[in-house]
Chains A and B, each alone.
Chain A
Amino acid sequence: MTVGSIYAMIAVGFNIIYNVTEIINLAQGEFVVLGGLVMVFIRVTLSIPTILAFPLTLLIVFMVGVLFDRLAIRPIKQPSVMTLIIATIAASMILKGSAMFIWGKDPYDLPAFSGRTPINFLGAFIQPQALWIMGLLVVIVLALTLFFERNIMGKAMKACADNPDAAKLVGINVNHMILLSFALSAAIGAVAGIGMTPLALMEYDRGAMLAVKGFAAVILGGLGSFPGAILGGLVLGLIESLGAGYISSGYKDAFALIILLLLLFVKPSGLLGNATVAKLKKF
């Protein structure tokens, strides 16, 4: 469940960018890494309490997301799928390289939000941090639902997702919305990173694997669907821990990928996705 919640958060991040821009951001995992490492820096090195460090980290990674759009995505003159994929790969290399430059290659630990004494929950012992992660996922879901349903900015973003040209006609600044989508999904990635670091440590080169697994969750649930992303993430986390427990722990990482491949080959529209909608999308 814990791992699944992390995947779900990454998957939501993928979907936000995809819905507005139809780009799959291959650097999504880098935001997670960055979230974890920035939090370590603020919380451990500067010893600022969690309650302050958390929003500060989100703000920093949010700004990284803004820069990401400004420097890597917007300058591309003839956006095609291939150039956009290459641009996000280039950006992920830059982020990864910078993370290595700043933090080195060692994994970092972060103190758990409320201690590491396991709690007895219905007979099973679980880490309090696991509860925090699930709680954060719920908060993200609620906040995003409110944002997209109630807030004018959120509605404008939804409009861009449906039809960018029409959105432009009614006076929505599509470029701002793209910027916002990158920043927002960077911040959500950061939440995932902050949440998982106390349980799984964090190092500079985790990004690619996290991104691929997050994408597997996206595909499992259907590209572009938020409930799908959550469900996909949770199911994927479950399959992975079952597979590691019953089949082979060495192949733990391979399960998610093989599921991703099978899904892509058999039913690319996902469990909750719609095949006709997928066909209408540009890319």
Chain B
Amino acid sequence: MFRIGRRSRIFFVCALLIAPWIIQVIPTISHYLDVLVFAGIYTLITIGLSLLMGYAGQISLGHAAFFGIGAYISGILTVQYEWNPWFCMLVGVVVTVLVAFLIGTPALKLKGHYLAMATLAFGIVVFIFFNEEVAVTGGPDGMGGIPGLSIWGYSFDTELKYYYLVWGIVAAVFLFSVNLVHSRLGRALRAIHTSEIGANAMGVNVSVYKIQIFVYSAALASIAGSLYAHYINFISPGTFDLSFSVKLLIMIVIGGMYSIWGAILGAVLISFLSFEWLEMFKEYEILVFGLILLFVTIFLPDGIISLPKKLRGIMGKSKKPSGQKRD
């Protein structure tokens, strides 16, 4: 695990607060704020996934489904029933938690490839459901007219306001998750990752912890989905397909799945890559992402976040004379 101290945390928060002002001053990159809002929404999901995959070692290829459930519940309840958006978000979380619990309980008994396939199949089934239940979800055409968010008359109607809202939630989730990692649950998860049998023998209730973290990550994805729906005011099934689950996977693999910082880095990096820097490739970005993913898997299995440490390792080695064979 890569510990990052209090100083860099403060630096990170300051950077978050200042970033929009710098971005808005420079006209050529002023639309980066929009990208950063999406990056924040994705970060919510990747933090949960990082706990699930990096810490607990359980793969999921179906988180787009939870993201979608959150988004659709917010969309349907606010558009068709005109409920309060915040309450809808809560309903979304509750429903997602239930679904995640029902799916996770049997699924997390499976291991490795079986689990990957089960979550993948679950994701596709939910995707088909969004497409086919036209009366409820609007089908492939999607549904529009989802209202924005406001609280006590203060509405988050500009990119800047939404940016602070999203990243504020990210910061809260981040703090909570970091505490989680250093709690009993976090230690149990790492034990599970190292050896399930070992953890079990030490009295860790493996299946309960695995389900808890699965449900937690699903709930985060659901919140992200609601935030997404209220931000762009329009949702269609295409956003929540398998390729989005894969994109989430790319985010945390490239950033570094063994650290929450890696999850944030990956989400921001991939957002910029797919919205901005790889725009010219259009649909062929899948080819580029595939190559990047393969490259990182082979050469940097701990993700970009491990790069400084690795470089330091190489530098450190070159300083010491290689003649001493101490290890």
Contact = CB atoms under 8 A, between A and B. Distances in A.
Interface of A: 23-24, 26, 71-72, 75-78, 81-83, 85-87, 89-98, 100-101, 105, 208-209, 212, 215-216, 219, 248, 250-251, 253-254, 257-258, 260-261, 264-265, 268, 283
Contacts of A268: 110, 114
Contacts of A101: 284, 287
B185 interface: no
Contact of B297 (A87, A253, A254, A261): A87
A85 B287 contact: no
A22 B186 CA distance: 30
A261 B123 CA distance: 11
Interface in B263-303: 283-284, 286-291, 293-294, 297-298, 301
B249 interface: yes
B253 interface: yes
A82 B59 contact: yes
B286 A97 contact: yes
Nearest to A24: B113
B298 to A, nearest CB: 5
A18 to B, nearest CB: 8
A245 to B, nearest CB: 16
Given A215-B117, A261-B118, A268-B114, A97 B290 contact: yes
A269 to B, nearest CB: 10
Given A24-B116, A251-B132, A264-B117, A90 B125 contact: no
Interface in B101-129: 106-107, 109-114, 116-118, 120-122, 124-125, 128-129
Nearest to B257: A82
Question: Which one of B129, B283, B289 has the greatest number of beta carbons of chain A within 10 Å?
Answer: B283
B68 interface: no
A75 B242 CA distance: 26
B294 A94 contact: yes
Contacts of B118: 260-261, 264-265
Interface in B223-259: 242, 246, 249, 253
Contacts of A24: 113, 116-117
Interface residues of B, number: 40
B286 A85 contact: no
B301 A283 contact: no
A89 B301 contact: no
Given A81-B111, A85-B59, A100-B283, 17 more contacts: A75-B298, A77-B301, A81-B113, A83-B297, A86-B249, A86-B253, A90-B290, A90-B293, A91-B294, A95-B290, A96-B290, A216-B121, A251-B128, A257-B121, A257-B124, A260-B121, A264-B117
A258 to B, nearest CB: 6
B122 A261 contact: yes
Q: Which of B113, B242, B294 has the most CB of A within 10 A?
A: B113
A87 B129 CA distance: 29
Contacts of B283: 100, 105
Contacts of A82: 53, 57, 59, 112
Contacts of A72: 294
A10 B300 CA distance: 32
Interface of B: 53, 57, 59, 106-107, 109-114, 116-118, 120-122, 124-125, 128-129, 131-132, 242, 246, 249, 253, 283-284, 286-291, 293-294, 297-298, 301
A83 B301 contact: yes
Contacts of B293: 86, 89-90, 93
A90 B114 contact: no
A90 B124 CA distance: 19
A175 B246 CA distance: 29
Contacts of B53: 82
Nearest to B124: A257
A98 B289 CA distance: 12
A94 B290 CA distance: 5
B290 A91 contact: yes
A89 B249 contact: yes
A86 B293 CA distance: 8
B287 A265 contact: no
A32 B108 CA distance: 30
Given A90-B290, A94-B294, A85 B114 contact: no
A90 B120 CA distance: 15
9 contacts: A26-B116, A81-B112, A98-B287, A105-B283, A212-B120, A254-B129, A264-B114, A265-B107, A268-B114
Q: In the complex, which of the residues B114, B122, B249, B294 has the most CB atoms of chain A within 10 Å of its own CB atom?
A: B294
Contacts of A77: 298, 301
Nearest to B103: A261
Given A81-B113, A97-B286, A90 B297 contact: yes
